[in-house]
Amino acid sequence: MVSRLTVIFFIVLCLLAGFVLTIFPWISVGKVGDWGNNQLLIMFSQLINMPSLQSFVASGWVRGAVTGLGILNLCLAFWEIANFKSNVDALEEKAGIPSK
């Protein structure tokens, strides 16, 4: 049972991270603002005295890289879903839990 929950939680984590990393760089979210023009990024770049950090994070290259990581997370989640039974069996075997 613990192995099944572990795999399910990992799938949910990968799906959520995948959706956030795929969509968040391209949309404006409430008070947070745009990906490259948000208050936290501005404050951090001023704090470390590196104003070029904001333009680097706002570039399409960084947005694309973050989106690529999101797609990779989604692919991993779908692979885990497709191989759910074998992953649960592998976890139980590694933990020394006898199979049914």
Domain ranges of the chain: 2-95
Contact 25, 35 (CB under 8 A): yes
pLDDT at 25: 87
pLDDT at 66: 93
Identify the residue with better confidence: 82 or 24: 82
Burial (0-12, 13-18, 19+ Cβ within 10 Å), 61: exposed
According to DSSP, residue 24 is labeled G
Question: Region 5-15: what's the mean pLDDT?
Answer: 93
pLDDT at 33: 65
What's the mean per-residue pLDDT of the chain?
Answer: 87
pLDDT-based confidence at residue 100 (cuts at 50, 70, 90): low
pLDDT at 2: 82
Largest CA distance in the chain: 60
Question: Region 83-90: what's the mean pLDDT?
Answer: 89
Q: Which of 87, 97, 77 is nearest to 11 (CA)?
A: 77
Identify the residue with better confidence: 97 or 4: 4
Residue 42, both tokens: 């501005």
Contact 55, 27 (CB under 8 A): no
Residue 5, both tokens: 């929950």
pLDDT-based confidence at residue 28 (cuts at 50, 70, 90): confident
β-sheet bridge partners, residue 33 = 29, 38
pLDDT at 93: 84
